[in-house]
Structure 1
Amino acid sequence: MSKRITDSQLIGEIGESAAKTRFLNIGFQFDGRSRLEAGIDGIAEVMDDGTPLAKMIAVQVKATDKAKYSNETDEGFTYLLRTEDLQYWRNSNLPVIIVLYRRSDETFYWKEIPNAFSVDERKLVFDKAADFLNHQAADSIAQLTVPKAGHGYYVPPLGGGEEALVNMLPIKLPAEIFVASTPYTAKQAMAILFDADEPSRFEWAIKGRTFWSFHDPRNECTAQIVDEDQVDVIDTSMIAHHEDIDEQHNFSFLLRQLLRHQFGRDLGWDKERKVFYFLAEAENQTRVFKYQSAVNRAEADVVNAVKDKKDKDRIAFVRHHAFAARFELMLDQWFLILSPTYHFTTNGFIPHSYPAALLAGKKRLDNNASLRGQVIMWHRFLSGSEVPDDDLFGPHQTDERYLEFDPPPVVSLPTTVPEKAWGSVKAKKTGEDSNDLLEGLELD
Structure 2
Amino acid sequence: MIGEIGETAAKLKFMGIGYQFTGRDRLEAGIDGIAEAMDENHPTAMMIAVQVKATRAARYTGENDNEFTYTVRAADLEYWRGSNLPVILVLYRQSDDTFYWKSLENLVGEAERTLRFDKKHDLLDRKARDRLAALTVAKQGHGYYVPPLGGGEQAIVNMLPILLPAEIFVSQTRLSNREALAKMNKTRNGKRYDWMINETSLWTFHDPLKSSVRDLVERDQVERIETDFLALHDAKDQQHKFAGLLRHTLAHDFREVLGWDKEKKQFFFLPKPQGIARQFQYLSAKQKAKADVVSVYKKSKDEGPIDYVRHHSFTPRFERLAEQWYLVVSPSYFFTADGTRRLSYPETLLSGKKRLDNNNTVRRQVIMWHRLLSGMSFEDTGQLLVSESVEDRILIIGEPPVLELPKSVPDDVWGAKANKAKKSDEDDPQGSLL
TM-score normalised according to structure 2 size: 0.80
* Aligned counterparts, 1:17-416, within 5 A: 17-34=8-25, 37=28, 40-61=31-52, 65-68=58-61, 92-99=83-90, 107-112=98-103, 122=112, 128-148=119-139, 157-281=148-272, 285-306=276-297, 311-314=301-304, 317-353=308-344, 355-385=346-376, 387-388=378-379, 391-397=382-388, 400-416=392-408
More deviation in 260-269 or 152-161? 152-161
Question: CA 1:198/1:386 → structure 2, altered by over 3 Å: closer, same or farther?
Answer: closer
> What's the CA shift for 1:262?
1.0
> What's the CA shift for 1:89?
5.4
Q: Which residue type is aligned with residue 373 of structure 1?
A: R
Q: Which residue type is aligned with residue 418 of structure 1?
A: P
Determine the structure 2 residue equivalent to 1:7. Answer: none
Q: Which residue type is aligned with residue 240 of structure 1?
A: A
Q: Check the 8 A contact 2:61/2:69 in 1, yes or no.
A: no
Question: CA 1:96/1:276 → structure 2, altered by over 3 Å: closer, same or farther?
Answer: farther
Q: Which sections of structure 2, spanning at least 5 residues, go unmatched?
A: none
Question: CA 1:172/1:24 → structure 2, altered by over 3 Å: closer, same or farther?
Answer: same
Determine the structure 2 residue equivalent to 1:420. Answer: 412
More deviation in 162-171 or 117-126? 117-126
> What's the CA shift for 1:28?
0.5
Question: CA 1:17/1:336 → structure 2, altered by over 3 Å: closer, same or farther?
Answer: same
Q: Which residue type is aligned with residue 402 of structure 2?
A: V
- C-alpha distance in 1 between matches for 2:275 and 2:9: 54
Q: Check the 8 A contact 1:169/1:379 in 2, yes or no.
A: yes
SS state at 2:417 partner: coil
CA root-mean-square deviation: 3.9
Q: Check the 8 A contact 1:57/1:96 in 2, yes or no.
A: yes
> What's the CA shift for 1:155?
6.7
TM-score normalised according to structure 1 size: 0.79
SS state at 1:56 partner: strand
- C-alpha distance in 1 between matches for 2:396 and 2:243: 15
- C-alpha distance in 2 between matches for 1:349 and 1:154: 41
> What's the CA shift for 1:377?
2.1
- C-alpha distance in 1 between matches for 2:316 and 2:68: 41
> What's the CA shift for 1:392?
2.5
More deviation in 276-285 or 98-107? 98-107
Question: CA 1:251/1:114 → structure 2, altered by over 3 Å: closer, same or farther?
Answer: farther
Q: Which residue type is aligned with residue 11 of structure 2?
A: K
Q: Which residue type is aligned with residue 313 of structure 1?
A: E
Q: Check the 8 A contact 1:283/1:347 in 2, yes or no.
A: no
Q: Which residue type is aligned with residue 322 of structure 2?
A: L
Q: Check the 8 A contact 2:165/2:394 in 1, yes or no.
A: yes
> What's the CA shift for 1:352?
3.9
Question: CA 1:343/1:111 → structure 2, altered by over 3 Å: closer, same or farther?
Answer: farther
- C-alpha distance in 1 between matches for 2:164 and 2:140: 44
> What's the CA shift for 1:150?
6.2
Residue deviations 1:336-363, cap 9 Å, x none?
Answer: 1112222233443344455333334433
Q: Check the 8 A contact 2:292/2:430 in 1, yes or no.
A: no
Q: Which sections of structure 1, spanning at least 5 residues, go unmatched?
A: 1-9
Q: Which residue type is aligned with residue 312 of structure 1?
A: D
- C-alpha distance in 2 between matches for 1:224 and 1:167: 38
> What's the CA shift for 1:136?
1.3
Q: Which residue type is aligned with residue 207 of structure 2?
A: D
> What's the CA shift for 1:330?
1.1
What is the aligned-residue identity percentage?
50
Residue deviations 1:158-203, cap 9 Å, x none?
Answer: 3433222222211101111122333333223222322444453222
Determine the structure 2 residue equivalent to 1:443. Answer: 432
Q: Check the 8 A contact 2:356/2:418 in 1, yes or no.
A: no
Residue deviations 1:95-117, cap 9 Å, x none?
Answer: 444445566765544454557x7
More deviation in 276-285 or 159-168? 276-285
